[in-house]
Amino acid sequence: MARYAMAIDTKRCVGCADCVVACQTENNVPIGYCRDWIVQDTYGEYPNLSMEIRSERCNHCDDSPCVRCCPTSASHYAEGGIVLVTHDECIGCKACITSCPYDARYVHPEGYIDKCTFCIHRVKEGEDPACVAVCPTHCMIFGDLDDKNSEISKVLRSRKYKTLIPEAGTKPHVFYLL
Amino acid sequence: MSKRLNRREFIKILGAGTGGALVGASTIQTFAGMKTASSADLITEGSIEKTPTYCELCFWKCAGWVHKKDGEPWKITGNPDDPNSHGRFCPRGTGGIGTYTDPQRLKTPLIRIEERGKQVFKEATWDEALDYIAAKMNKIKEKWGPECIALFTHGSGGTYFKTLLKGFGSNNIAAPSYAQCRGPREEAYLLTYGEGVGSPERTDMVNSKCIVLIGSHIGENMHNGQVQDFSEAVANGATVITVDPRYSIAASKSKYWLPIKPATDMALLLAWINVIIEEELYDKEYVKQYTYGFEELKKAVKKNTPEWAYPITTIKPHLIRETAREMAKNAPATLVHPGRHVTWYGDDTQRVRAGAILNALLGSWGRRGGFYAPAKAKVEKYPLPEFPKPKKDWKDAFPDQFPLANLALSSGICDATIPTPGKDCSFKGWIVYGTNLPLTLPEPKKTIEALKALELVVAIDIMPMEITGWADVVLPECTYLERYDDIRISPGRESTIALRAPAFEAKYDTKPAAWIAKELSKKLGLEKYFPWETFEDYLDYRLKSIGSSLEEMKKIGVKKLAHDEDLYFLNGEEYEFGTNTGKIELYSTALEEHGFDPVPKYTHHEEPPEGYYRLNYGRAPMHSFSRTTNNSYLTDLMAENVVWINPLIAKEWDIKTGDYVVLKNTDGTKSNKIKAYVTQRIRHDSLYMVHGFGHRQKQMSTSYLKGADDTNLMSRVKIDPIMGGTGMRANFITFSMEDV
């Protein structure tokens, strides 16, 4: 079994939003919507400042409230722990949107709920997700946590990292390297 | 204080959600009854085709692949063999399809039927449009001489119009990328090292252990390979020293952020040189072997101590010393980055030269982690007959001025077009290729004055940019995704070439620049300068000269060629530099000859009057000037610019983030309304905005009146006497409260 995850190096990321466009074109995400996005946090007061830049998306949690609350089981765990939405089973009730602490889902203009898939179609072909493959700063690492020799396993052993809103208890699988 | 933008706010602030646009959404279908089939599995369905291209959304020209699915545009990705991108496009290149699909593109040739500035055109055939241009060009040639026609150019297609103009008999070919951007940098390095920096820059930043950025906001200026090098160096623990009145993205990656008082960079550079010389931190062997004028330099900077620089720059003396030592500690793998857009205050050649001198003292030119010697593919040119020799050029309008300008000045041609008593103002015709002059040249009133005085204005563009509104004839070019272009030959660590082939049929009645120039040449009797039958023949001829072919390049997109140049100086080897003395000139003999300071000196620049702030401007990673601000993928990320305001200033004016404000400069020129962004990330004495917004063309409804145009506020410039660069950070602005 595999457990897919993503590590994003906040030290490398420059917040260019290339990941957002690459996802849009790869996955035909309509203009005006996005499956991933950029957050810039600035701390301190001039001139003592620090900043953290993050590319954010669905955290593909182990304990996903969106899967739990979905009345039709459209939201489900697919291989490698990836959380997906089966569009033709989705009734667009938005329970998952309300339950997601990360605001990672949106209503597609065709009526179903859409979100990051970790580009499972690419992963199956042995490729990185589109956002990872495009990033000019090489700030993202995608891989299998069950493989102790994968780059992501190694980087999570050697670097400090955090997850977002860990207190929500969802066991997110996008890690931010600090 | 933490400023957190959640996703919805991000979209609201930076994306201005465009609602129900449905581009491409209908191609997602689901397999009925298959539980595991989510939309994601189906993306790879359908037949996929790839066409090689190199990007035209900025000048970096990354090479990649255009993917079509079932014949429809899908996506653009980088070519892993391309040293400019290493297979990773930036957001602009990734969103390049938005340029092709833009419904507001120019669709057909247009001929003006009203006076200039009033946008009343009639649609024309290509034949009519080109006949009109040829007749006017010939009339100008007859009456005033062929030299009275100038070309402004930016982008790949400009090359064919250069050929056309040279064949016609004019050498007045200008690009704003010189006098409005990197001209002073090229001249400063030429004066010091006998060679320019070039593009892509020959900086070996990927191997740098210390990087010094002076007003250079790498990461926000998304020069792809350079950003990749920067992030790699940061990840490898390089010490970054960023000098910027604004806490840029690069500043946030820096060990030292020096929020310098704007317009005082020269004082800091001289103080650094002073410390490095006084503390004997310079590379003694390198300086002895390769440089000229060390003693004169030492004497000249004697007084420029950190204590002298402190009240000027507001940077504390201990920090100036500490950062100078940090540079020396990591030398020669220390890169004092030469910057790119350097036309700031009018003493720009001198300021950039101070950085070049610093690099020489650190011994970083020709060394790993500093600057490398670029390789460049040698590809045979298609044989052309000799061009006629022009009798005059733009310089004649400026006797005894700008002696070291090696390229034509866009601003100079503009000045030499406005009828002025006592000046040889001879320009009667402008051909403007891909250069949106009203949003590019400072002192926009002069641009308009010049445009009104002309006998002929031709604009070749993809979009109905502001310049097209002033043209007599508008020629719609097809986008880079719909055409061949000349082979890309970029300098770099490796010698490479790249091909651009058409991925799509040209939409509407648009044509490639090569076709337009060739057809116009026929009307002018200049067809001998376009002797190729088809553009494929032209490319194949050139490619065969290096043992490749069009057929091969269509399959691989990028080809690496053998080269044997060394990237770095060999230990102890003698080198001759292209300067008067054959040495790296710390003391410039060429500047001395022309009566300029042979060693850079500090000049005090004017400061903002009470209640005014310096107008600073820069780039955003998802846009290239006003070129991309109508691209739906990119406006989705950033639809309008914002004005950065320090909280203390915002409080004084009672302005909050998200409020729309109107800015005005000291000459009373007002901006379009622009959203306020109150942030700790900027000094109290300057305001900042991203350049390229505030389009005033209704035809581009996506970008029409979105944000403010900084160029419009630049009613004053400080001219660099050495090479004619237009220093644009000489403008002071304030809030126009009656307009809020």
Read off the CATH number of the domain in which A32 is found. Answer: 3.30.70.20
Contact A38 B621 (CB under 8 A): no
Categorize the per-residue pLDDT at B561 as very low, low, confident or very high, splitting at 50, 70 and 90. very high
Q: Determine the angle formed by the axes of helices B265-278 and B317-330, rounding to 10 degrees.
A: 60
Given pLDDT bands bounded at 50, 70 and 90, which one contains residue B284? very high
- Look up tokens 């917040």; give the residue: A15
Query: By the 8 A CB rule, do B619 and B223 touch?
Result: no
CATH superfamily of B199-373+572-593: Dimethylsulfoxide Reductase, domain 2 (3.40.228.10)
How many H-runs (helices) and E-runs (strands) does chain A carry?
A: 6, 10
B87: enclosing H helix or E strand = none
Per-residue b or e along B657-679, where b marks 16 or more CB atoms closer than 10 Å to that residue's CB: eebbbbbbbbeebbbbbbbbbbb
Domain with CATH 3.40.50.740 in chain B: 110-178+378-561
| Residue B236 touches partner A, C-beta closer than 8 Å | no
- The average pLDDT across B128-142 equals 98
Q: Is the CB of B7 less than 8 angstroms away from the CB of A103?
A: yes
CA distance A107 to B666: 48
CB contacts under 8 A, B 78-117 vs A, are 78, 85, 88-91, 94-95, 97
Residue A86 has pLDDT above 60, yes or no: yes
Burial (CB < 10 A; 0-12, 13-18, 19+), residue A125, is: exposed
pLDDT of B13 higher than 90: no
Cβ count within 10 A of residue B593: 12
If DSSP codes are grouped into helix, strand and coil, which group holds residue B581? Answer: coil
Query: What's residue B451's pLDDT?
Result: 96
Cβ contact, residue pair B235, A11, below 8 Å:
yes
Whole-number pLDDT of residue B531: 97
Chain A positions in Cβ-Cβ contact with residue B253 (cut-off 8 Å): 11, 14
Nearest CA in chain B to A44: B1
Q: How confident is the model at residue B14 (pLDDT cuts 50, 70, 90)?
A: very low
Confidence of residue A161 (pLDDT cuts 50, 70, 90): very high
Exposure string of B319-352, with b = 16+ CB inside 10 Å and e = fewer, is bbbebbebbbebbbbbbbbbbbbbbbbbbbbbbb
Residue B33 confidence (pLDDT):
29
DSSP B414-432: HHTTS--TTS-----EEEE
Those residues whose C-beta lies under 8 Å from the C-beta of residue B434, and which sit 6 or more positions away, are B153, B154, B155, B157, B158, B460, B461, B462, B477, B627
Q: Which chain A residues are within 8 Å of B247, Cβ to Cβ?
A: 42, 46-47, 49, 51
Q: Would you state the pLDDT for residue B586?
A: 98
- The per-residue pLDDT for B421 is 79
**CB pair distance less than 8 Å for A20 and B30:** no
Total number of domains in chain A: 1
Q: Reading across the β-sheet that carries B72-78, which strands appear in turn? A: B48-54, B63-69, B72-78
Q: Cβ separation of B88 and A40 shorter than 8 Å?
A: no
Q: How confident is the model at residue B222 (pLDDT cuts 50, 70, 90)?
A: very high
CA distances from B577 to B184, B194, B289, B585 (A): 19, 6, 12, 9
**Contact, B352 vs B339, CB < 8 A?**
yes
CB < 8 Å to A37, chain B: 7, 10-11
Whether B100 has a pLDDT exceeding 80, the answer reads: yes
Express each pLDDT in A117-132 by its tens digit.
Answer: 999 999 999 999 999 9
Q: Which of A24, A41, A121 sits opposite B40 (nearest CB)?
A: A121
Query: How far is residue A35's CA from residue A29's CA, in Å, rounded to a whole number?
Result: 8
B253 part of contact set with chain A, CB < 8 Å: yes
Is-cis flag, bond preceding A47, omega within 30?
A: yes
Question: Which residues, 6 or more positions from B176, have their beta carbon under 8 angstroms from its beta carbon?
Answer: B152, B154, B410, B435, B437, B440, B441
The count of CB pairs under 8 A between chains A and B is 213
CATH number assigned to the domain with residue range B613-739, chosen from the 4 options 2.40.40.20, 3.40.50.150, 3.60.150.10, 3.90.1170.30: 2.40.40.20
Task: Kindly report the number of other CB atoms within 10 A of residue A146's CB atom.
Answer: 14
Q: Could you report the per-residue pLDDT of B398-430, keeping only the tens digit for each?
A: 888 999 999 999 999 999 999 887 766 689 999
Cβ separation A28–B27 shorter than 8 A: yes
Question: A11 and B253: CB-CB below 8 Å?
Answer: yes
Distance CA A53, CA B356 (A): 32
Average pLDDT of B692-712?
A: 95
- Separation CA B290–CA B370 (nearest Å): 16
pLDDT digits (tens, 9 = 90+) for B538-549: 999 999 999 999
The Cα–Cα gap between B662 and B440 comes to: 20
Under a CB-based contact definition with an 8 Å cutoff, are residues B92 and B58 in contact?
A: yes
Flag if B235 and A9 touch (Cβ within 8 Å): yes
**What does the mean pLDDT of chain A come to?**
96
Which of A13, A46, A107, A174 is most worth mutating to test chain B (most B CB atoms within 10 A of its CB)?
A46
Cβ–Cβ under 8 Å, residues B349 and B339:
no
Quick one: what percent of chain B has pLDDT higher than 70? 93
Look-up: residue for tokens 């390198």? B286
Look at residue A148 in the predicted model and tell me its pLDDT.
96
Tens digits of residue pLDDT in B173-214: 999 999 999 999 999 999 999 999 999 999 999 999 999 999
Contact A28 B19 (CB under 8 A): no
Among candidates B619, B702, B572, B452, which has minimal Cα distance to B91?
B619
At residue B650 the predicted structure's pLDDT band, cuts being 50, 70 and 90, is very high
Tokens standing for B124?
């024309």
Is the Cα dihedral B356, B359, B361, B363 positive or negative?
negative
Contact between A78 and B10 using a beta-carbon 8 Å cutoff: no
Residue A72, domain extent: 4-177
State which fold the B110-178+378-561 domain adopts: Rossmann fold (3.40.50)
Within an 8 Å CB–CB cutoff, is residue A45 touching chain B?
Answer: yes
Quick check: B54 pLDDT over 90?
yes
At residue B19, the pLDDT reads 29
d(CA B32, CA B692): 47
pLDDT for B116 equals: 77
Tell if the CB–CB gap between B74 and A25 is shorter than 8 Å. Answer: yes
**Residue B32 pLDDT grade (very low, low, confident, very high; cuts 50, 70, 90):** very low
Average pLDDT estimate for B161-165? 98
The answer to whether the Cβ–Cβ distance between A44 and B4 falls below 8 Å is no
Phi then psi dihedrals of residue B636, to 5 deg: -60, -35
Beta bridge partners of B661: B674
Determine contact, residues A53/A39, Cβ cutoff 8 Å: yes
| Candidates B75, B94, B315, B619, partner chain A, best to mutate (most A CBs within 10 A) | B94
How far is Cα B559 from Cα B548, in angstroms, rounded to an integer? Answer: 9
Of B155, B119, B181, whose CA–CA distance to B441 is shortest?
B181
| Mean pLDDT confidence for B376-396 | 94
- In three-state secondary structure terms, B148 is helix
Helix (H) / strand (E) containing B157 = none
Q: Which H helix or E strand runs over A139? A: none
Chain segment B574-615, per-residue pLDDT in tens? 999 999 999 999 999 999 999 999 999 999 999 999 999 999
Q: Return the sign of the alpha-carbon dihedral for residues B512, B513, B518, B522.
A: positive
| Average predicted confidence (pLDDT) for chain B | 92
A139–B contact, CB cutoff 8 A = yes
Hey, are the CB atoms on B252 and A49 less than 8 Å from each other?
yes
Return the residue of A nearest to B14 by Cα: A38
Q: Do A39 and B2 touch (CB under 8 A)?
A: no
∠B116-B120-B122 over CA atoms, to 5°?
Answer: 120
CB contact under 8 A, B89 and A18: yes
Residue B6: is its pLDDT beyond 80? Answer: no
* Residues of chain B found within 8 Å of residue A30, distances taken between Cβ atoms: 21-25
- The token pair at B636 is 């989705």
Query: Which residues in chain A have their CB less than 8 angstroms from residue B681's CB?
Result: 42, 46, 49
Contact flag B40-A119 (C-beta cutoff 8 Å): yes
Nearest to B228 among A53, A117, A137 (CB): A137
Q: Please state the φ and ψ torsions of residue B598, each to the nearest 5 degrees.
A: -70, -25
Give the whole-angstrom CA distance, residue B257 versus residue B360. 23
Cβ atoms of B119 and B459 closer than 8 Å: no
Per-residue confidence band for A110, with pLDDT thresholds at 50, 70 and 90: very high
Q: Collapsing DSSP states into helix, strand and coil, what is residue A100?
A: coil
Specify the pairing of strand A4-9 against strand A174-177: parallel
Q: According to CATH, where is 2.40.40.20 located in chain B?
A: 613-739
Percent of chain B topping pLDDT 90: 88
Q: Helix or strand or coil: residue B298?
A: helix
Which of B19, B621, B647 is closest, CB to CB, to A32?
B19
Q: CA-CA distances (angstroms) from residue B133 to A150, B105, B139, B456, B527? A: 63, 22, 10, 8, 16
Q: Among candidates B542, B539, B516, B518, which has minimal Cα distance to B529?
A: B518
Nearest residue in B to A35, CA atom:
B7
- For an interface test with B, the pick among A9, A12, A18, A38 (most B C-beta atoms closer than 10 Å) comes out as A18
Q: Report how far residue B723's alpha carbon sits from residue B407's, in angstroms, rounded to the nearest whole number.
A: 9
In the prediction, which pLDDT does B563 show? 86
Q: What type of residue sits at position B200?
A: P
pLDDT, tens digit, for every residue of A27-77? 999 999 999 999 999 999 999 999 999 999 999 999 999 999 999 999 999
Instruction: Assign A154 to helix, strand or coil.
Output: helix
